[in-house]
Structure 1
Amino acid sequence: MPLDSATIVRQVLQLHADAVERWHGQPLDNPYTGLLGVVCQQHQYNFQLWHEEDIARRTDVTDAQIAQVKRNIDGFNQRRNDWIERIDETLLEMLESQGVAAPESAPLNTETPGSAMDRLSIMSLRVFHMEEELARPDATEEHLSRVEPKRQRCVLQRADLSNSLQELLGDIFAGSKRLRVYRQMKMYNDPTLNPQLYKTQRKAG
């Protein structure tokens, strides 16, 4: 894939929108390769996380079911963050293959491209479900009047974030900004770092 920020952002946005619509009617798939394949996998975890979060708010299921859903959420969230890092790692590999190396004096950004793509992934889900709410046959005028402004705000936020991501990638590809992979280091999922886990294991031993 060429280091073209406008093309990459456009393809990521299209992937997010197409996949969200497709996955609501068929099983999860990933027909992409390279950077887009990594973006799609990361997007899948957001898709799964979104729907588990919906289930977690139900009051007509057992506590045991909710406990399992909470564990599912934790797992999807961990993998979502792992794959944000993989997006950034893939971009670094692309930079290296193209011989792009920013000087140490080049500034870093407060957010990596992977984090921005994660936010765009979530925004695509938000827009899809807002539009789903607008299409509900039982939707009242009051409901529609509440949802439509939110949908418009989401569309605007997605456009703003897309533009910012394109600018960031352009700077990174030009070597005027550095890209660094930031590790999430979720301590609660590490049995050697979460005292609730390692103390329990010690007692069991």
Structure 2
Amino acid sequence: MLDALLITRMQDEMTAALHVTENEVGFETGADGLMALAIAQHQANFELWHEEDKARVPGVADVEIARVKHSIDALNQRRNDLVEKMDLWLIARLEQDPIAPLHSETPGLMIDRLSILALKIYHTREEAHRASATKEHRSRNVGRLALLAEQREDLAGCLDVLWSEVLGGRRRFKLYRQMKMYNDPELNPAVYGRS
């Protein structure tokens, strides 16, 4: 049901494929269930990463930054909604021991962190091999790449251990709603105050 190695492999393959196809979805897996949600969630992170870069371009017009900010809010909401959907999907298929110790981070949140690490690894690898960069820059990024790979390996291992403990009744998790307020016209005074 949940396998960190399969998830990280999908994230790496999808990241490479999306960069080749210039952000077009086009990543066909035939996946369903948790993996389909993880794919959609990684797509949201991919789009969010690249949308945030648009606001960092030197000299970009204020109107473009405003457009990008609205797009970032929508993508971030989608990303968080998909994290919750992954956790709900897992919870619906589990019989967790209600007295098992509670884990503070959910599998969905861990998969989200793995997704971000996949993007960092991809882009750091690009910098480690960029011909126009200095030798020092490339070397520094080789070191960063090793650290990112170690962090991902640690996190993937923690996800597998958590999952094993949940299945064994030694740990449990519950859904933690993000309750984002910035996109809700009834909760954000910056939005409802203007209407």
Aligned-pair identity (%): 41
Give the CA deviation at 1:145: 2.0
Give the gaps of 5 or more residues in structure 2: none
Letter of the 1:127 partner, please give it: I
Aligned match for 1:112, one of 106, 110, 118 = 106
**TM-score, length basis structure 2:** 0.93
List aligned pairs for 1:1-205, cutoff 5 A. Answer: 3=1, 5=2, 8-26=3-21, 27-28=24-25, 29-31=27-29, 32-95=31-94, 101-201=95-195
1:177 and 1:146 map into 2 onto residues whose CA distance is: 39
User: Which deviations, in whole Å up to 9, do the C-alpha atoms of 1:132-156 show, x marking residues without a partner?
Assistant: 1122121211111221111111000
User: Which deviations, in whole Å up to 9, do the C-alpha atoms of 1:3-62 show, x marking residues without a partner?
Assistant: 4x5xx1111011100000000011213522111000000001100011111111112321
Distance 1:145 1:135, change over 3 A: closer
1:15 and 1:84 map into 2 onto residues whose CA distance is: 16
Runs of 4+ in structure 1 over 3 Å off = none
Give the root-mean-square deviation of aligned CA atoms. Answer: 1.2
Partner in structure 2 of residue 98 of structure 1: none
User: Which deviations, in whole Å up to 9, do the C-alpha atoms of 1:62-101 show, x marking residues without a partner?
Assistant: 1111111111111111111110001101111232xxxxx2
Give the gaps of 5 or more residues in structure 1: 96-100
Larger radius of gyration: 1
2:55 and 2:7 map into 1 onto residues whose CA distance is: 29
**Preserved contact between residue 30 and residue 40 of structure 1 (Cα < 8 Å):** no
**TM-score, length basis structure 1:** 0.89
1:186 and 1:34 map into 2 onto residues whose CA distance is: 25
**Preserved contact between residue 108 and residue 179 of structure 1 (Cα < 8 Å):** yes
**Preserved contact between residue 52 and residue 73 of structure 1 (Cα < 8 Å):** yes
1:9 and 1:145 map into 2 onto residues whose CA distance is: 29
**Preserved contact between residue 30 and residue 41 of structure 1 (Cα < 8 Å):** no
